[in-house]
Amino acid sequence: MSSKIRRCAPATLSLFSNTSARTPRACIVSQWLRSRGLTTVDSTPSQSVPLRKHLKDEAKRKKAEAKGSHNDIKAKTNPHSDEWKLTVGVEIHTELNTACKLFSTAPATAADSNGLPNTRVALFDAALPGTQPQFQRATLLPALRAAIALGCDVQRKSGWDRKHYFHWDQPNGYQITQYYEPFAKNGSIVLSAEDGVSKTDLSGTQSISIGIKQIQMEQDTAKTTHYAPSSYHVDLNRAGHPLIEIITLPQIHSPQTAAAVVRKIQAQLKSVDACVTGMELGGLRADVNVSVRPRGSSGNYSYGGVSGLGQRTEIKNLSSFAAIENAIMAERDRQIDVLEAGGVIEGETRGWTLGATETTRLRGKEGEVDYRYMPDADLPPLIIGSDLVDHLRSTLPELPDATVLRAQQDYGLSAKDAKTIATLDDGERLDFMEETVELVLDNLGDDQADKTKIGKLVGNWVLHELGGLLATSNIAWADVTVSETELADIITNVQLKRITSRTAKQLLATLHELPPDESRPSVEQLIDDGSLRLRPLSGEGYTALAEDIIAENPEMAKAVKDKGQKGKVMWFVGQMVRKGHEGTVEPEKAREVVERLLGS
Amino acid sequence: MHHLVRCTGLRAAGSLNASRRSAEFSTASIARSQKESILDIEKLLSRPTWSVSSLLPPKDSASDAPEVTSKQLHHLLRLSALPPPKDQQEEAKMLSTLSSQLHFVKEIQKVDTAGIEPLRSLRDETMQGEKEAELGMEAMKDALAQEEVRGKHHKRIRRRRDHTAAKQEEDWDVLGTAQRKVGRYFVVEGGKDK
């Protein structure tokens, strides 16, 4: 039992008490709470953008920019948007990757896991009278790694506060958070064009830095599902899950950059194992605050120490990168329209639904006073030892930028391939490639091989050849039977010109089909058994083979000889490789012969 | 309401009492006790020197607390999940009560709490106590043991998921206290949509 039972007065009633003193009544606050967009989700699966598509979009965007067309192609809905300066700050909520809830030992299993509702609930999570919160110290590992990865100052002493509101997703009547004294402050994240930052935000520099105001730990809410007309089903499994909220400074000036910031923060959190799932699985949600002011002028508002801004509005609960970008664009345009028509922007909270063209008002924002924040007397302050912070800092796993750079510099991969391989299969694919490179270099003997050359080659095999086999056979990376040793042996044989690359691909496909047991043959065995070893044809052999094929295809030969259609040479090469015995014809040599015979 | 929260600190209240006592109790009664050699306890206790009612508005005059509008009252009731007043009469009564409470709060706010850190709870605040509460490497030993490093070249720290952290699935009937349920869900009745 996690939570200590306090010997305490019995009169307190919990939300779910069946005491007759409390008769059921339609909740008078429901409408208002719903208007606050607090938690009730008629959950629509959020739309994720797969990495490949993201890379493609980025490439497209770059091309468009190079052509001189303006950035933010689809953003130009308001004709005057250039005359206004947009300012955005982001708040990101993400579930921490840890075994227990924040204040009880009930398991904190990922949001998407299919368990029975209301089974992972400690007494405290259901707010039974007399139960007390017990901070689960293991939560600190992912929380601190997140703070360190985002360059924050970890506070030796921080505190817990209650944020009060009544809703059925919150059995206690308050959420425990770190309002007055968060555990991490003053971080930053650096983004470059590679991360999808818009050109205007970069304004000629290589990269920009966005400040992180603070990171706080807090409890997640229960999951509620709406059943029309007015019933709500409550599952407390998620209630009390540890979250961190990451608050950036309002230093972002385009919708595209805002999405890039969230994407990059998510990637950093994943790389240090701090979060469970990304946005695509509902493990990460974002709120954005948006303001505009005429370019070159200064507004009267100040947020997080950044002054001279316009009145801002907040858009809550965005659960995909596309939603972040689109919601900001829509809100920017709405604000410009209002201001150009002589109106005033109200400080308020707004909502956005996927596919909408405008944000909708949820409620006015009178200030945070409504939440009646106060220190939680049940919890001692959180005191974090500097030895722990130092240890986590010195053992912090490599961050995504460094990984991509390493894949490019050490292994000669293109930027695109480096990014792809670093992201695939939780880094397993990259490790596989690195091990294969090492084995190939060993096989070849150090001195004659260039690591970036072999790296690029192996990268191609792992990403494209093996990747292709995975795609066509619909097999997950975890079930791949081909080992690093096998792939290294295949590639070594090609490098030493013992087999053709066509043979090599067939070998890989064969091994891909075989189960990983004792019956599995070695690469050498397969080569021997199939007589696949390259037996080079003699010079005469090549000539004879080429002459045969030229004689059979006089029209084609004429096209090359008389019309100079050099492209057709390769057609002859292809014919020779096909007609020659398996593993005997090398394309380069065949080409030389064809070119000589056809005098091109 | 907000201000009430801000000065909830017991220390602030304590210092109020102390100052009152020194102002009215000690100066008056102790001075007297020096004159009369024998302290007349009975007489001393017969009449209180201070009452909480001094912080409430006089019954006949209106409170000088800021007026609370009907709209604000309803807002506060919503925040507290309390039912709205049945009729005008009840609303007037609520407003009057609230107004005298605010008068009280204003009196409390007159206490100068500058530089006083609110007392949140009673804990060992000594250096030694803080050191004992500190979460450092030693405290995190078990949690760190639940992690592993994956990869030979591309090293990644991963929490072991197979491990079940605690005795788990606490042995109690979560839905046992539910008034309404459907399957394994609590059911609550909300307002109608729009």
B18 CA to chain A: closest CA distance, Å? 24
Q: What pLDDT sits at residue A194?
A: 84
**Is the CB of A115 inside 8 Å of chain B's CB atoms?**
no
Q: Where are the domains of chain B?
A: 2-109
Q: Encode chain A (600 residues) as per-residue pLDDT tens digits.
A: 334 333 333 333 333 333 333 333 444 444 444 444 444 444 333 344 455 566 666 666 666 655 544 444 444 456 667 788 999 999 999 999 998 999 998 888 754 456 788 888 999 999 999 999 999 999 999 999 999 999 999 999 999 999 998 888 889 999 999 999 999 999 999 998 888 888 878 877 888 999 999 999 999 999 888 888 888 999 998 999 999 999 999 999 999 999 999 999 999 999 999 987 766 666 788 999 999 998 888 888 888 878 888 888 999 889 888 899 999 999 999 999 899 888 888 888 888 887 777 788 776 665 678 888 999 999 999 999 999 999 999 999 999 999 999 999 989 898 889 989 988 888 899 999 999 998 888 888 866 568 888 899 899 999 998 888 888 888 888 888 888 988 889 888 888 888 888 888 888 888 888 888 888 888 888 888 877 777 777 777 888 888 888 888 888 888 888 887 778 888 888 888 887 776 677 888 888 888 888 875
Q: Which residues fall within 8 angstroms of residue A1, CB to CB, at 6 or more apart?
A: A122, A123, B170
Cα gap A259→A325, rounded to integer Å:
6
Q: Which residues fall within 8 angstroms of residue B106, CB to CB, at 6 or more apart?
A: B64, B65
Nearest chain B alpha carbon to A384:
B135
Look up residue A482 and give its DSSP letter: -
The amino acid present at A502, given as its one-letter code, is: R
Which residues of B are less than 8 Å from A391 in CB distance? 137
Q: Which of A278, A359, A357 is nearest to A320 (CA)?
A: A278
Put simply, the answer to whether A427 touches B151 (Cβ < 8 Å) is: yes
Q: What pLDDT sits at residue A236?
A: 92
Put simply, the answer to whether B183 touches A117 (Cβ < 8 Å) is: yes
CB A427 within 8 A of CB B154: yes
Put simply, the answer to whether A119 touches B121 (Cβ < 8 Å) is: no
Put simply, the answer to whether B170 touches A168 (Cβ < 8 Å) is: no
Q: What percentage of chain B exceeds 90 in pLDDT?
A: 21
- Centre a 10 Å sphere on the Cβ of residue A290 and count the other Cβ atoms it contains: 28
Cα gap A215→A32, rounded to integer Å:
29
Q: What pLDDT sits at residue A235?
A: 92
* Residue with the two structure tokens 């005469």: A540
Q: Which of A461, A468, A446 is nearest to A413 (CA)?
A: A461
Nearest to A391 among B137, B146, B190 (CB): B137
Q: Which residues fall within 8 angstroms of residue A350, CB to CB, at 6 or more apart?
A: A313, A314, A315, A316, A331, A359, A360, A361, A362
Cα gap B73→B85, rounded to integer Å:
10
* Residue with the two structure tokens 């070695």: A522
B19 CA to chain A: closest CA distance, Å? 26
Q: Is it the case that residue B10 has pLDDT exceeding 50?
A: no
Nearest chain B alpha carbon to A376:
B120
- Give chain B's radius of gyration (CA, Å): 29
- Give chain A's radius of gyration (CA, Å): 31
Which residues of B are less than 8 Å from A386 in CB distance? 136
Q: Is it the case that residue B109 has pLDDT exceeding 70?
A: yes
Q: From its phi and psi, is residue A289 left (phi > 0), alpha (psi between -120 and 50) or beta?
A: beta
Q: What pLDDT sits at residue A34?
A: 45
Q: Is it the case that residue B47 has pLDDT exceeding 60?
A: yes
DSSP string across A35-82: HTT-S---PPPPP---HHHHHHHHHHHHHHHHTT--SSGGGTTSTTGG
Which residues of A are less than 8 Å from B135 in CB distance? 137, 140, 382-385, 388
Nearest to A16 among B78, B137, B186 (CB): B186
Which residues of A are less than 8 Å from B164 in CB distance? 99, 107
Q: Which of A256, A220, A201 is nearest to A75 (CA)?
A: A256
Range 146-175 of B in CB contact (< 8 A) with A: 146-147, 150-159, 163-170, 172, 174-175
Q: What pLDDT sits at residue A65?
A: 56
Range 166-205 of A in CB contact (< 8 A) with B: 166, 168, 173
Nearest chain A alpha carbon to B155:
A397
Cα gap B67→B72, rounded to integer Å:
10
Crossing angle for the helix pair A255-271 and A321-340, to the nearest 10 degrees: 150
Residue A400: alpha-carbon gap to chain centroid: 10
B137 CA to chain A: closest CA distance, Å? 5
Burial of A320 (0-12, 13-18, 19+ CB in 10 A): buried
Cα gap A126→A129, rounded to integer Å:
9
Cα gap B162→B148, rounded to integer Å:
12
